[in-house]
Structure 1
């Protein structure tokens, strides 16, 4: 559903679904209850300023009755953000496709406490391309290759590559070397069933169900301190690589989620998660030509060669 509001300073408008029936006399009353953590008067003032609009871009009044509109749009008020002091590096840009090297700590898209400190917003402003949209995503903690669509007309063709698993993705990770680690066990293919429960930050493994995730794991190098692996995911489940390595006793260095969920703490920019999206390969759906992109980044804890 197209937004009636243009991208502003790299940030698109937020769409909110409003119930057509309920105990609220107005759309404003519903939003006040929905966003109970916000100052109600401040929200009403936004209606008075014409900042909350209908699908046709028409401003809604504070007394617009519930049921008049099923969706409303508005710009999120920018949160107080901690600046993420790392830049997005553009590796490739053409009329349809943008490929970048994302740093650790930077989210792919706005969300939660990050709005302007996201790869999407930074790139829209840097490239002057308000239609820019991510074709896939990386976790905020993960660095490396990220692809964006520059035009709506060709976006679907690139999205289908990922839906059809036609993109060969390669990652690197560095893990603490466990006692008794046996390099002879690799390469190996690891599979399990991963599910994401609503309201939980970590995924769960269900040993009773058929596997829905698969990763080929190879060893690049190792020393007495760490193991450096190359990862080829066949599927793309949330946190898949982190879960699979943790299950093998190779939890990724500086991972606050797996194998143990640690208390939330401010980012320590000196200790990034040692996971990197290293390479993307695919046949371009528009030209039919083979494409290969490789990160310029490296993992600071990898063994020196």
Structure 2
């Protein structure tokens, strides 16, 4: 079904229900679930009243001055309004707080990635720090837990491309530089990617080995760490899209409530933004913001 594949914030069964309720119009008339979309069709969605999924709304202030605020987000809240999350997001939550006025987004983390997020208190501050991110002058450190016995050190330099073998439309895969020339990939469908990894521990979960790994992304691409680790054969614990079985994600969005702990080892992806280091754009002071390991990560 086109709607389910294009707009993944609703499951296939939910889209069918919405269609049966007459809330999808094609050329002004209610469409049936069996209708085949044609080029030039004008589609209108009438959602009516909707309810957002609950999120973990608490946050911790890690750093604050006259230009910036850094908070520690949980692994259960998006940073900005998207999909089903219109008001239940970190940006709106901060702006509702009487301690702050308008804030400006500088960088982003996935909804299930926890840790350090920095916001600007004015547009100039946001623009200057955003420029440091784009010029790769912000040192980022993540902690991840992955399935398998990870190498002591590993550098992954190459490209991120879409994954045509996956049933998930937004899934990507990492291709090392050495193998890129063997692929027939359009230039618009690739992005350079570079991440260094360092193993810092290991353990077992459900009788399976996992590794604790530092991740140092040099570039800042969508799903960079997750897609790279998956492509290297070390998927994140708890990752529904880049985990050991992508069918878990399909079951999840269809509302089948799979047992994530037994299938994936965690209820959310084991990726945490543990620190950011940069030269403060206004004071010139070396600034490091840290976030401790979340309680829901394995010991």
Give the equivalent residue in structure 2 for 1:276: 272
Structure 2, unaligned stretches of length 5 or more?
Answer: 1-26, 28-40, 182-189
User: 1:301 and 1:250 mapped to 2: Cα distance?
Assistant: 17
- Residue-pair matches, total: 230
TM-superposition CA deviations, 1:197-224 (whole Å, max 9, x none): 8992212445425971111100110124
Superposition misfits of 4+ residues, deviation over 6 angstroms: 267-270
2:137 is aligned, of 158, 166, 177, to 166
Give the equivalent residue in structure 2 for 1:249: 233
User: 2:231 and 2:58 mapped to 1: Cα distance?
Assistant: 33
Q: Aligned pair 1:208/2:183, yes or no? A: no
Give the equivalent residue in structure 1 for 2:44: 36
Structure 1, unaligned stretches of length 5 or more?
Answer: 1-23, 25-32, 43-77
Distance 1:112 1:145, change over 3 A: same
User: 1:35 and 1:96 mapped to 2: Cα distance?
Assistant: 43
Equivalences for residues 92-111 of structure 1 within 5 A: 92-111=63-82
- Is this contact kept in 2: 1:88–1:101, CA < 8 A? yes
Give the equivalent residue in structure 1 for 2:292: 296
User: 2:141 and 2:267 mapped to 1: Cα distance?
Assistant: 22
DSSP-derived class of the 2:44 partner: coil
Distance 1:220 1:128, change over 3 A: same
- Is this contact kept in 2: 1:131–1:150, CA < 8 A? yes
Greater strand percent: which structure?
Answer: 2
Give the equivalent residue in structure 2 for 1:186: 152
Structure 1 vs Structure 2 CA RMSD: 2.8
The Cα of 1:148 is off from its aligned counterpart by 0.5
User: 2:107 and 2:197 mapped to 1: Cα distance?
Assistant: 22
Q: Aligned pair 1:89/2:60, yes or no? A: yes
DSSP-derived class of the 2:45 partner: coil
Greater Rg by CA: 1
User: 1:211 and 1:156 mapped to 2: Cα distance?
Assistant: 23
Give the equivalent residue in structure 2 for 1:236: 220
Q: Aligned pair 1:261/2:246, yes or no? A: yes
Distance 1:34 1:132, change over 3 A: farther
User: 1:222 and 1:190 mapped to 2: Cα distance?
Assistant: 21
- Is this contact kept in 2: 1:101–1:297, CA < 8 A? no
TM-superposition CA deviations, 1:167-190 (whole Å, max 9, x none): 00000011122xxx3x6x421101
The Cα of 1:254 is off from its aligned counterpart by 0.8
User: 1:231 and 1:192 mapped to 2: Cα distance?
Assistant: 16
TM-score of the aligned structures, taking structure 2 as reference length: 0.69
The Cα of 1:88 is off from its aligned counterpart by 1.8
- Is this contact kept in 2: 1:276–1:299, CA < 8 A? no
Greater helix percent: which structure?
Answer: 2
Give the equivalent residue in structure 1 for 2:5: none
User: 1:211 and 1:97 mapped to 2: Cα distance?
Assistant: 30
The Cα of 1:157 is off from its aligned counterpart by 0.9
